[in-house]
Amino acid sequence: MRVVCLAGGVGGAKLADGLQQILAPGELTVIVNTGDDLERHSLLICPDHDTVMYTLAGLAGSQGWGLAGETWRVMGSLARLGEGTWFRLGDKDIATHLYRTERVRRGERLTDVAAELGRALGVPSHILPMTDAPVRTRVRTDDGWLDFQDYFVRMHQEPDVREVRFEGADRAAITPEISEALRAAEVIVVAPSNPIVSIGPILAVPGMLDAIGAARRRGVPAVGVSGIVGGKALRGPADRMLVGLGEEASALGVARRYASAELLDTFVIDTLDESLAAEVRSLGLKVVVTDTVMADAAGRVRLAHDILAAGAPA
């Protein structure tokens, strides 16, 4: 079964891992957010791409991002030179950024470099950046506009977010690889990633919603999962961001966003949120209630099974 999954970082990577476990090699394509990308120490870093890649390669560190067994000698030496090291790059991880930066500066497409990296690390799935064009998420706080990682890592997601924009999205386009993956898809999955700053940038790439809509009109089911459980984000600031933007911090708030984008047929909510099912249904979505918290490897596979079952014809 050919599955296309839209994903951000850690939560998206966990679900992609569950899907990869139950699909045949090559059947899973993950479209990853690149709005979190940044340049640090002259290197092009693609955090969500790398989080998904390391996870699907079985190499991810215990914190969810970066590599297992990492060392931090380069950061230590940079700190000694007085460089800011708030965005921590592990020694092994730096090799990925050197490889990518060199090739992108030579004019290779991000999509091609991502494919080379995935092959080199033995990833059995396809990981596609949402676009080859630079798109950068920026957030407006009471102190003005911030680059995404400034807000997320340097300021520990503490400021309230009043507005979000995806700079460069209007000049971006989906890639031929994304068009082809969505043309061949049998199920589309939207991972329980942050709906505003992980899934939001993916949907903002011109052509993405049209290509998903075309697949849905052919009868391809689109199943999304709430990353908000019991009013709290499983990880990261999605709950506070929804409130800051005047929306509801709940699975219903997430469902409203996706319903207004006409993205989904089915929305998966946690058993803790069962009482919201009727209201989600009233948005025109089918609802599946299940355990969505992927606490361990078995939880990832279980949720992946539930999602594919939700997408299967009745």
* CB of 251 vs ligand FO1, minimal distance in Å: 20
Q: What is the DSSP letter of 292?
A: -
* CB of 59 vs ligand FO1, minimal distance in Å: 12
Give 220 or 228: the residue with its C-beta nearer to ligand FO1: 228
When CB distances to ligand FO1 are compared, the closest residue is 9
* CB of 166 vs ligand FO1, minimal distance in Å: 14
SS3 content of the chain, % helix, strand, coil (to 5): 45, 20, 40
* CB of 48 vs ligand FO1, minimal distance in Å: 5
C-alpha dihedral (217, 250, 17, 68), degrees to nearest 10: 150
* CB of 293 vs ligand FO1, minimal distance in Å: 18
CB 220 within 8 A of CB 188: yes
CB 151 within 8 A of CB 143: no
Give 47 or 224: the residue with its C-beta nearer to ligand FO1: 47
Give 196 or 229: the residue with its C-beta nearer to ligand FO1: 196
Give 43 or 293: the residue with its C-beta nearer to ligand FO1: 43
In the complex, the residues that contact ligand FO1 under the rule CB under 6 A are 8-9, 36, 45, 47-48, 50-51, 65-66, 87-89, 93, 149, 152-153
Name the token pair of 123: 């990833």
CB 221 within 8 A of CB 264: no
What order do you get walking across the sheet with 28-32 strand by strand?
126-129, 28-32, 3-7, 187-190, 222-225, 266-270, 286-290
Give 259 or 294: the residue with its C-beta nearer to ligand FO1: 294
